[in-house]
Amino acid sequence: MPRTEHQAPISRRYTFPKEEHLCRKKLIEELFSKQGSSFGVYPLRIVWVASPAPTAAPPQVLISVSKRTFKRAVDRNRLKRLIREAYRLNKYRLLEHPTGHQVALLGIIFTGKEKSPLGLVEKRLISALYRLLNTTGEASRLLPPT
Q: How distant, in Å, are the alpha carbons of 65, 90, 92, 123 from that of 75?
A: 9, 23, 27, 20
Name the residue type at position 85. E
> Residue 94: which of 5, 16, 10, 7 has the closest Cα?
16
Question: Please, where are the H alpha helices in the chain?
Answer: 25-32, 73-90, 92-95, 118-142
Contact by Cβ (8 Å): 103, 48? yes
Q: What is the pLDDT of residue 141?
A: 45
Contact by Cβ (8 Å): 102, 37? no
Q: What is the pLDDT of residue 142?
A: 40
β-bridge partners, 61:
21, 106
pLDDT mean across residues, the chain: 88
Over residues 110-135, the pLDDT tens digits come to 999 999 999 999 999 999 999 999 98
d(C-alpha 139, C-alpha 146), whole Å: 14
Name the residue type at position 75. D
Give the predicted TM-score (pTM) of the model: 0.85
List the domain boundaries for the chain: 19-131
Report the SS3 class of residue 16: coil
Residue 144 — pLDDT band, cuts 50, 70, 90?
very low
Annotation: CATH topology of 19-131: Ribosomal Protein S5; domain 2 (3.30.230)
Name the least confident of 3-7, 55-59, 66-70.
3-7
123: number of Cβ within 10 Å: 15
Between residues 6 and 56, the one the model is more confident about: 56
Strand order in the sheet with 37-41: 37-41, 44-55, 101-110, 60-65
